[in-house]
Amino acid sequence: MSQTVAVFDVGKTNVKLALFDEGRLLWEKSAPNRVLPGPPYPNEDVESAWNFFLDALREVALTHQISAIVPTAHGAAGALIGESKLAAPVMDYEFAGVEVIESDYARLRPPFSESLSPKVPAGLNLGRQLAYQKWRRPDLFAKARYFVGYPQYWAWRLTGVAASEVTSLGAHTDLWAPLQGQVSSLVKALGVHHLLPPLRRAFDPLGPIQPDIAALTGLAPETQVFCGIHDSNASLLPYLISRQAPFTVLSTGTWVILMCVGLSLDQLDPRDDTLANVDALGRPIACGRFMGGREFAVIAGGGGNPDLDAVERVIGSGAMALPCFSDQGGPYAATKGIIRGEVAAHDQTALATLYCALVGDLMLTRMGATSGDLIIEGTFAGNLAFCQTLGALRPKQRVFAAEDVVGTARGAAMLAHWPPSYPITAPAPVPAASISGLDAYRDAWTAAINSIARRATNA
């Protein structure tokens, strides 16, 4: 029987339970994450996720002795909780109906200079979700005792202990002032300060699991639960303790989050969807984001990864994917994506790969991230053509790829023994590649998107 850390990883697309022993993945199981249509608004299917979690714990407890549980979850989700259950459903951040309050909310939003949180669509600013719940569903809001980030909701459900935590509060919520290390002026303006429980660190133990959960799962009653962390920040943890700044981690999945450690915040521009997230130690980190995983799927129309020959065929054809293929994230979210030219069906994944590499390169340049290593983790780390194309676009920076797709969960597991005493597995260097015609193609692609942006501005 081994001592293990169980990580409950709630992503936008999937929920997962993963077990680790000193950084080694022992076991994992996943299921699709669902959104319910409402009423009162589209919301996270927390009960399905919870039942998956309990079933998976019950299954794995037969063969492993779990010593700790760490939750991690995607950003832009938060929970209004009452004495013993949710006071209101956890809003799906893609609920566009939340924007009906925008004119009132805009008067309360702190300036970007305070929050370093750009205005983003739908419910991606967690503060907008909270304002909507207060103003449009006062019947539910009145039942709330606390408002917590999504990782901390799962910690509360396991322990009964409510906590606030900076990586969740600082993830483009409008609720945090990163440079001051405190809640923003929005908290007072919205009148919700009383709903925020005491601030705890991501690696703080909140207590043991509740007795009924121990009985349901077969876990030991003394199993500790840790406060938990925003998922992109979990991906960053292994590199914060094993590398010297500057460096950039590209955490890839449904979203591509570019986290530039050691970079000045001076070039952040809310119009580009660049911002500051806050790491587990409370420090602001320059970040950019675009919905790369979803855009890749739209352009590619199917699965699989291309080779560089396919990328060169697309370049040679002159065909281009021009942003944006999602209505959320990145500097061109307000423009509708188009594909110019013809691409063979078997080269659509190459077109999608080239597009995502170009958007990543564009955002890194605009942020001023021109030095330091680039580390790709998550889904795109398994796409060698993406890694090599990004490297060819940025030849002065070394590119590395994490060799597994559980970087978020692996980073979260570290919180149970922080700082970890075991060695951190280094990502693999990506071999450099020369890609014929890439520089000229980037120039033409950039000119095309600039033209689209000018037309949109003048419309």
The distance of Cα 377 from the centroid of its chain, to the nearest Å, equals: 12
Helices 348-367, 308-317: axis angle to 10 degrees equals 80
Name the burial class of residue 135, with classes exposed (0-12), middle (13-18) and buried (19+) by CB atoms within 10 angstroms of its CB.
Answer: middle
Contact predicate 71/8, CB 8 Å: yes
User: In angstroms, rounded to a whole number, what is the distance separating the alpha carbons of residues 8 and 57?
Assistant: 10
DSSP 322-369: ES-SSSSBSTTTTSPPEEES---GGGHHHHHHHHHHHHHHHHHHHHT-
Q: How many CB atoms lie within 10 A of CB 84?
A: 8
Q: Two tokens at 72?
A: 């991690």
Please name the amino acid found at residue 271.
Answer: R
Domain boundaries, the chain: 3-227, 232-458
pLDDT of residue 458: 67
Is residue 202 within 8 Å of 228, Cβ to Cβ? yes
Pairing type for strands 14-21 and 24-32 reads antiparallel
Contacts of 116 by beta carbon, 8 Å cutoff, 6+ apart: 178, 179, 265, 268, 275, 276, 284
Nearest to 149 by CA among 135, 159, 163: 163
Q: Which residue has the tokens 């070039």?
A: 267
- The DSSP element (H or E) to which 311 belongs, if any, is helix 308-317
Spatial separation of the C-alpha atoms in residues 116 and 174, rounded to whole Å: 8
Inter-CA distances, 79 with 37, 52, 88, 147, 327, Å: 17, 19, 7, 6, 24
Kind and range of the H or E run holding 133: helix 126-136
Residues found in the chain: 459
Instruction: Spell out a b/e string for 326-358, using b for 16 or more CB atoms within 10 Å of the CB, else e.
Output: bebbbbbbebebebeeebeeebbbbbbbbbbbb
Q: For residue 421, give every residue at least 6 positions away whose Cβ sits within 8 Å of its Cβ, in sequence order, or none.
A: none
Per-residue confidence (pLDDT) for residue 405, from 0 to 100: 73
What is the predicted pLDDT for the residue at 452? 83
CATH number of 3-227: 3.30.420.40
Distance of CA 39 to the CA centre of its chain: 26
Scanning the structure block, which residue is given the tokens 């689209």?
A: 452
- Taking 70 as the pLDDT cut, the residues of the chain under it are 1-3, 456-459
pLDDT for the residue numbered 1:
41
pLDDT digits (tens, 9 = 90+) for 199-252: 999 999 999 999 999 999 999 999 999 999 999 999 999 999 999 999 999 999
DSSP 99: G
- Which fold does the domain 232-458 belong to in CATH? Nucleotidyltransferase; domain 5 (3.30.420)
Task: Tell how strand 3-10 and strand 65-73 pair up.
Answer: parallel
pLDDT for position 303: 77
